[in-house]
Amino acid sequence: MSLFVFDRVLAAYTMAVHVLFTYWAISLPFFIVTAEYLGYRRNDPYYLALAKRFSIVMAVLFAVGSAAGAAIAVEFITVWYKWMYIVNEVDILPFEIEVLAFFTEVIFLALYLYGWDKMGKTAHMIIGLLIGLGSTGSAILIILVNSWMNTPTGFNVIEFANSGVLTDINPLATLWPPIASAEVPMGIAGAWFVGFGSLAGYFAFRMLFKRGLTHDEVEYYNRGLKLSIFLAALDAIFLAWAGDNAGKTLYAIQPLKLATLEGLMYTTRGAPLVIGPISIPAGLSILVSWPPNPNALVLGYSSFVQSDWDPIWWLAHNAYDIHAILGIIGALVFWLLALGIYFKSSFLNIEKKLTQYMTFIVGWLQLIAWESGWIAAEVGRQPFIIWGPMFQTSAGLYAIQAAMLTSEAYNNSPDVLPIGITIMVVLAIAVAGTLYMLKRLFEGKEVSQDIIALRR
């Protein structure tokens, strides 16, 4: 394996592990605070038990996610230091503000954990919300850096592409790159949906496979399942808008990336929307245009110079298909489940095994959707690590003014190998250790013990 391939595999592996924890950091605080609010509002110890237990889970996942983030930081300054140099000169401001958001999250997490029964109920819930705001703010700032890689601002991109010299640097201009209007909503809505969906999957799993459920456990899991389903269904509305907005924004700003994700080889009017084996005539043209136009022209690979084509476009396209299919199925299922609970449907009763199996499978499939979406987004930017402006050549084709190619950004020193292998091993141990710790976290402490304590 060449160092170029190794560096890319290392980046993919590290990011894939890290994003397994980010959606928990973004979604769990809101689940926990909602459970706490319902517990106080309804004088319900089961909701309070949910909030207390999952606040401990949140702390564990936060610690491991932070460690994975630290590994990424090491990787940036060693394996991808050429890219990091440009970021440091132009786009460092979001990273610096993100550190403040991270510290905010840490401080309020500590206050929340140790504040049970030591401060007012309202103050405690506000602190819980501040954890969520800190983690969401941190995620937004990281997404802004990714957005900048897709639509770089804050310096003269063309001058840098031509001469390698950074000029006209304006760090403030990097705080909202053009594509951020698509990436930020999609990233946050997606994280919430995967978080709430996987929580629903967890509660359904426990109801299905835990033997000898006591009355307290049934009530506990039942409330957790209902709450996570309602939160997922509510966020699915936001996610649907975010996905539609992302398609329209890509159409206007990054048509080559849109062609990659949709697997569109030829420029077409009335372009079909192809998702797996399903093809909807003129569907893509309708979705990406506003007002919807079934005859809208969508640029395909045939309109771009071949040197700018994504060499592994098929990976981005297939990953995007998986992401879209699982996301759409998940949204529809959670909408139906929420309606079934609200209207007390006998067919979609969450106490039925069939409904629980459906929730378990669909909920945890959102993890695959989450990872697939990340693969599609990052591979879809290839062969560029920092995209440049699009221009038309004398031949009438379009080309991308490359700010930095991926092949220019990696570290070709053999010293990368031991660093990279160490990072991969440590992260694998951290993930395995986290799973083991979560499994053992509440062993010997049954739900009924918490319920008895909360009733006092």
Ordered by start, the domain boundaries in the chain are 178-381
Buried b (16+ CB within 10 A) or exposed e, 176-214: ebbbbbbbbbbbbbbbbbbbbbbbbbbbbbbbeeeeeee
Grouping H, G, I as helix, E, B as strand and the rest as coil, residue 384 is: strand
- pLDDT tens for residues 275-295? 878 899 999 999 999 999 999
C-alpha 187/C-alpha 307 separation (Å) is 30
C-alpha 285/C-alpha 251 separation (Å) is 10
Confidence of residue 74 (pLDDT cuts 50, 70, 90): confident
Confidence of residue 456 (pLDDT cuts 50, 70, 90): low
Mean pLDDT of 357-361: 96
C-alpha 95/C-alpha 80 separation (Å) is 16
Place of tokens 């080309």: 399
Mean pLDDT of 433-453: 79
On the 0-12 / 13-18 / 19+ scale of CB atoms within 10 A, 346 is exposed
- pLDDT tens for residues 176-216? 999 999 999 999 999 999 999 999 999 999 999 988 888 89
Report pLDDT for 390.
95
Mean pLDDT of 76-90: 94
Residue count of the chain, please give it: 456
Report pLDDT for 449.
80
Q: Which pTM does this prediction carry? A: 0.95
Mean pLDDT of 331-342: 94
